């Protein structure tokens, strides 16, 4: 199992990341919360990872913090929540706010996240509440702050945002509608995706 990668950031195209580790390029997927912490391409990077092995693929997911990886692992244990939905949830809400929703049984707030229906939200609250209570002492409910002011913008933020949403599991028409409904002027790809996932559409 690959638990952490240290190397040089080669590419970042939400939700995909490419890292050179001593001549071997690793392809990962990450939430927008992790993207906000990425350095510029060509700089050193350290990411905590989780590997998913399937019959047809070996998928690697990267996380800026151990608390986000722990939240991801908790999410994918829930019936009906796969890695892509878990990344979408972590992209649309901070770990701190997600924990609050679970602890206060605020399933209604969770249904505002893309891909989370009423039954899934209720299942998340029921299955995660006790687990998060046990982990709260060690994880500390770490916050996942927003993007730093100097984050690099992509050449075409709108098109890149639509492509990223499609990669997260949305249909092309739906992803396009989500982005068109936003005020995207002057925003980076990461900011557009974040707004779309937070229900801006």
pLDDT digits (tens, 9 = 90+) for 161-191: 887 777 776 777 777 888 888 887 888 887 8
pLDDT digits (tens, 9 = 90+) for 13-33: 888 999 999 999 999 999 888
Whether residue 134 lies inside any domain: the answer is yes
Q: Are residues 116 and 85 in the same domain?
A: yes
CATH number at residue 55: 2.40.50.140
Whether residue 133 lies inside any domain: the answer is yes
Distance between alpha carbon 50 and the CA centroid of its chain, in Å?
Answer: 13
Is the pTM here over 0.85, yes or no? no
Does the pLDDT at position 137 exceed 70? no
The total number of structural domains that make up the chain: 3
Q: Is 183 helix (H, G, I), strand (E, B) or coil?
A: coil
Whether residue 27 lies inside any domain: the answer is yes
Whether residue 184 lies inside any domain: the answer is yes
Please give the Cα distance from 32 to 151 (Å, whole number): 12
What number is the average pLDDT over the span 61-79? Answer: 90
- Label residue 41 by pLDDT band (50, 70, 90): very high
User: Beta 58-63 vs 24-30: how paired, if at all?
Assistant: parallel
Does the pLDDT at position 145 exceed 70? no
Whether residue 96 lies inside any domain: the answer is yes
Whether residue 151 lies inside any domain: the answer is no
Question: What DSSP state is assigned to residue 149?
Answer: T
CB-count exposure of residue 97 (10 Å: 0-12, 13-18, 19+) = middle
Last residue of a domain, one of 22, 38, 63: 63
The residue segments making up the domain with residue 173 are: 157-200
Q: Are residues 161 and 119 in the same domain?
A: no
pLDDT digits (tens, 9 = 90+) for 91-100: 888 777 888 8
CB-count exposure of residue 118 (10 Å: 0-12, 13-18, 19+) = exposed
Q: Are residues 87 and 51 in the same domain?
A: no
Last residue of a domain, one of 90, 105, 139: 139
Q: Are residues 51 and 71 in the same domain?
A: no
Q: Are residues 134 and 72 in the same domain?
A: yes
Residue 85 sits at φ, ψ, to 5 deg, of -65, -40
Provide the mean pLDDT of the chain: 82
Q: What share of the chain is helix, strand, coil (3-state, %, to 5)?
A: 45, 20, 35
CATH number at residue 173: 1.10.8
What number is the average pLDDT over the span 123-139? Answer: 74
Q: Is 150 helix (H, G, I), strand (E, B) or coil?
A: coil
Whether residue 147 lies inside any domain: the answer is no
């Amino acid at each position: 199992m690959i638990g952490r990668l240290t190397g040089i950031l080669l590419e970042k195209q939400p939700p995909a990341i490419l890292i050179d580790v001593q001549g071997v390029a690793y392809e990962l997927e990450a939430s927008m919360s992790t993207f906000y912490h990425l350095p510029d391409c060509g700089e050193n990077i350290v990411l905590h990872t989780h590997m998913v092995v399937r019959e047809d693929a070996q998928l690697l997911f990267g996380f800026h913090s151990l608390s986000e990886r722990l939240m991801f692992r908790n999410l994918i244990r829930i019936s009906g929540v796969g890695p892509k939905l878990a990344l979408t949830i972590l992209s649309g809400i901070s770990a701190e706010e997600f924990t609050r929703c679970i602890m206060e049984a605020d399933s209604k707030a969770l249904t505002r996240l893309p891909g989370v229906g009423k039954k899934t939200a209720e299942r998340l609250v029921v299955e995660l509440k006790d687990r998060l209570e046990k982990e709260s002492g060690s994880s500390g409910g770490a916050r996942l702050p927003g993007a730093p002011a100097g984050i690099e913008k992509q050449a075409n933020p709108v098109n890149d945002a639509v492509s990223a949403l499609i990669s997260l599991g949305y249909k092309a028409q739906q992803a396009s509608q989500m982005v068109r409904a936003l005020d995207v002027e002057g925003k980076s790809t990461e900011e557009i995706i974040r707004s779309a996932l937070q229900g801006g559409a």
